[in-house]
Amino acid sequence: MCGFAGRVDWDGMAGDGGVGGIVDRLRHRGPDDRGVWTSPERRCTLGHARLSILDLSPAGHQPMLDPGTGNAIAFNGEIYNFQALRAECERDGYPFRSHSDTEVILALYRRHGRDCVRRLRGMFAFALWDAGRGELFLARDRVGKKPLNYALTPGGIVFSSEIDPLVRHPLVDQAMDPDALELYLQLQYIPAPWTIYRSVRKLPPASWAVLDRAGLRVSEYWDVDYRPKAALSVGEAVEGLEEKLREAVRLRMVADVPVGALLSGGVDSSLVVAMMAQMSAEPVRTFSIGFDEQAFSELPYAQAVADRYGTRHHPEIIHGEVESLLAPLARHYGEPFADSSAVPSFHVSRVARKHVKVAMNGDGGDELLGGYPRYWLAPAAIRAGRLLGGLNSPAQLARAAGSLAEASTIPARIRRRWLLRAAHPELQSVTMYSEYWGDASRTQLTGAGGGVLEAWRGEWLARAREAASNPVDRMLWIDNRTYLPGDLLVKMDIASMHCGLETRSPLLDHEVIEFCASLPAHLKVRNRVGKALLKKLGEKYLPHDLLYRPKMGFGIPLEEWLRGPLRPVVERTLGSEEVMAPLDPEVIRRTLAQFYGHGAAHASRVWALLMFGTWKRTCVLSAAA
């Protein structure tokens, strides 16, 4: 796990082309080593900040070269099947000089070219300079665990693992992208390929890109087809899931440093800890976060799992002192990011990093097997969605989606219920963000029409219809391509890597994902219970009351904090027209007055504004001063 950066300029570069400065700003991701390499003709520079996990020796130094071809790579991530892949390459005569997974990618590229990414099982983003072709190859893992941001320049490209170090490069324009602002206010995050900066883009998950003198070409190399279904009994499906998940956990326990686990007390992380404990010769180190407000704290459940499996458990309480974390949050995310669970994610990562360099987590269970309430459709609703799903085109649904949240008349409410609960339940995966800044309120705030959101919704609804034949699977497909990589995985990557902690997610192994996609909907949602199959498997490992308790999520007492300890910084930030521009100050004042004066449920809107303003002050105005 690391951070990397680079630049290509077809006319050649002086010095390191500014790459060294980006790497210096990425040292929190990789404090153990630093490297910068420039190609002989000075057209490509790669830089790397290393967090040493495999092969701690100098042989694992990056950027790494293939002496036989002159190719060079800068890599961030872990390849969990690297040992098997290495054995294949050794049989073909590749002369390995290290024991790192980075060198395996170089060997695979020599054998398979760009198709090497299809053989990688893990989380990764990398930049590889192909010396023979004189071109740059960029790639990102299937689900988007590892980030890769880039900016095209007049002479080529500049790229980085994080956004803020990238926009400090003198060739990168810092103008704001109004479409990205629209997306942020509605979604609470900015999805790929957008960033808040007009000139900077994210390489989407499951994609590679090739840069040569003709320009940049981006291609998708993987997707999941939810239509073919395996004919399995419940027992067979449980056995299949257990086999896949245990293998994924086993592969992720391979490291040359201690491996711990982030234990929330929910089903997913608890099951991962249980499997780790059974495979480990020593007690697993586990880490949990809770709050003074008991309604938001899962510490008792985490403690019960820790006691059951004899882990070395490290719980910690978060109090309301959040203000000091706001600027670091904004700087590390590099753009507005309003998922408030980033706060406990930062805290639990800091706690874990005091003891380990690597920690497992339970990310992905909800998006694989239907953990959110919107998935919990009755069998009749699933059948109706399958039969009626073609009544309206994706474009029609995308146009209708924006008005559903504001439905106030009885006919409008009836239409909303018909669309969301019968004909097109998958609409819930593109309308679930209406509590933030929905179409009507956002138009007042920005003065824009929201055309980018309609196009965004339409694209994902259309692609989901091609990938899945029932509404549960369509929601799962959409969430795996939007909410999971755009919000949840960005949140965890930045929260963990800000302090040099690598996090691994067994449930997001692509073979686990493909297995879950092949399961019929009734094995995922059963009797209006989500994650039915995962909970059935969990009965072998965990107590019944933990498995079947109400879902809590990784939330924080947001409203209480905004009304209490954070109120001064909220009023100071949102009251500055310079900081909040280009947003309408009157709409902001009215929103605050409603939130503080009349008890209006605007906590999510106020938090989104606060994180926008904090980003603007920290990353834009302060940098320009």
CA atoms within 13 A on the CB side of 520: 13
How far apart are the C-alpha atoms of 585 and 608, rounded to whole Å? 15
How far apart are the C-alpha atoms of 28 and 224, rounded to whole Å? 34
pLDDT for 106-135, tens place per residue? 999 999 999 999 999 999 999 999 999 999
Both 155 and 36 in one domain: the answer is yes
Both 304 and 436 in one domain: the answer is yes
Burial label for 444, CB within 10 Å (0-12, 13-18, 19+), is middle
Both 601 and 573 in one domain: the answer is yes
Q: What share of the chain is helix, strand, coil (3-state, %, to 5)?
A: 50, 15, 35
How far apart are the C-alpha atoms of 526 and 530, rounded to whole Å? 7
Q: For the domain that residue 39 is a member of, what is the CATH number?
A: 3.60.20.10
Both 516 and 600 in one domain: the answer is no
Both 201 and 190 in one domain: the answer is yes
What SS3 state is found at 179? Answer: helix
**End position of a domain, from candidates 220, 247, 267:** 220
| Residue 619 annotated to the active site | no
Structure tokens at 151: 């900016």
SS (H, E, C) 524-574: HCECCECCHHHHHHHCCCCCHHHHCCCCCCCCCCHHHHHHCCCHHHHHHHH
- Whether residue 130 contacts residue 108, with contact meaning beta carbons closer than 8 Å, is answered with no
pLDDT band at 597 (very low <50, low <70, confident <90, very high): confident
Q: Identify the pLDDT of residue 436.
A: 82
Both 511 and 572 in one domain: the answer is no
Both 196 and 244 in one domain: the answer is no
Least confidently predicted of 43-57, 342-356, 574-588: 43-57
Structure tokens at 603: 């906590």
Both 98 and 150 in one domain: the answer is yes
Residue type, position 438, single letter: G
pLDDT for 36-58, tens place per residue? 999 999 999 999 999 888 777 88
Both 202 and 155 in one domain: the answer is yes
First to last CA, the chain: 33
Check whether 190 has a pLDDT greater than 60. Answer: yes
Q: Identify the pLDDT of residue 317.
A: 87
Q: Identify the pLDDT of residue 261.
A: 98
**End position of a domain, from candidates 204, 220, 236:** 220
pLDDT for 549-565, tens place per residue? 877 666 678 898 999 99
Q: Identify the pLDDT of residue 1.
A: 66
Least confidently predicted of 167-181, 371-385, 393-407, 472-486: 393-407
Q: Identify the pLDDT of residue 598.
A: 73
Check whether 527 has a pLDDT greater than 90. Answer: no
pLDDT for 191-232, tens place per residue? 999 999 999 999 999 999 999 999 999 999 999 999 999 999
- Work out how many domains the chain is built from and give that number: 3
pLDDT band at 293 (very low <50, low <70, confident <90, very high): low
Which residue range forms the structural domain that includes residue 84?
Answer: 2-220
pLDDT band at 599 (very low <50, low <70, confident <90, very high): low
pLDDT band at 329 (very low <50, low <70, confident <90, very high): very high
How far apart are the C-alpha atoms of 117 and 604, rounded to whole Å? 39
Mean pLDDT for the stretch of residues 359-364: 96
Q: What percentage of residues in the chain have a pLDDT greater than 70?
A: 97
Both 333 and 356 in one domain: the answer is yes
Both 195 and 62 in one domain: the answer is yes
Both 545 and 401 in one domain: the answer is yes
CA–CA distances in Å: residue 409 to residues 142, 227, 438: 43, 37, 18
Global confidence as pTM: 0.95
**End position of a domain, from candidates 168, 197, 220:** 220
Q: Identify the pLDDT of residue 573.
A: 98
How far apart are the C-alpha atoms of 292 and 621, rounded to whole Å? 35
